[in-house]
Structure 1
Amino acid sequence: MSKFSILPDGSDLKSMGRDLKFYPVENSSPKTLSKDQIAHYNSQGYIAPLDVYSSEEIESIRKYFDELLQRVVAEGGNSYSISSAHLKYGPVY
């Protein structure tokens, strides 16, 4: 077994045997999304607009990320340094 890598390289990806086919969603009684949203996802591959956060919540999240990036850059990193931020910083998760 190879060592875990947060960012796998091309050979790692090839060896995973992943199934990347699209499988349409089939749900006769959805609880969160509407049937129209599911149909749109199945035909277009996305749902929009999708309101997940309030304006206040997204402002707080944006502020956190801006401050996190500032800290990382001040320590010599760059935006790619936080590509795995969800593994290190609770609020990102």
Structure 2
Amino acid sequence: HNNWHERWRGSICLAIEEPEKSVDEIERWAGHPYMSQILIKAEPRPSWGNPKYDAIWAAATKHDIPVSCHLSRSHYDELPMPPVG
């Protein structure tokens, strides 16, 4: 029952507001055989192109780990959402 360990994969979840700690987390988990991606929130402030995040992108590239994003808001995030559709 529930014997699916060989198929399970995890994400290295980053709080990219602190790039140095995010890089530490990438370095910590990058070699783990069951970590398959880096996960960041979809709407960082400042935006992803800000040089503040360059060390994160460099660490992801160094370890050849894809970066994905997920919309994750909390009541602490700034609102309203940007216009869509």
Normalising by structure 1, what TM-score? 0.20
Name the structure, 1 or 2, with higher relative contact order (CA <8 Å, separation 6+).
Answer: 2
Larger Rg: 1
Q: Name the structure where strand makes up a greater proportion of residues.
A: 2
Normalising by the residue count of structure 2, what TM-score does the alignment of the two structures yield? Answer: 0.21
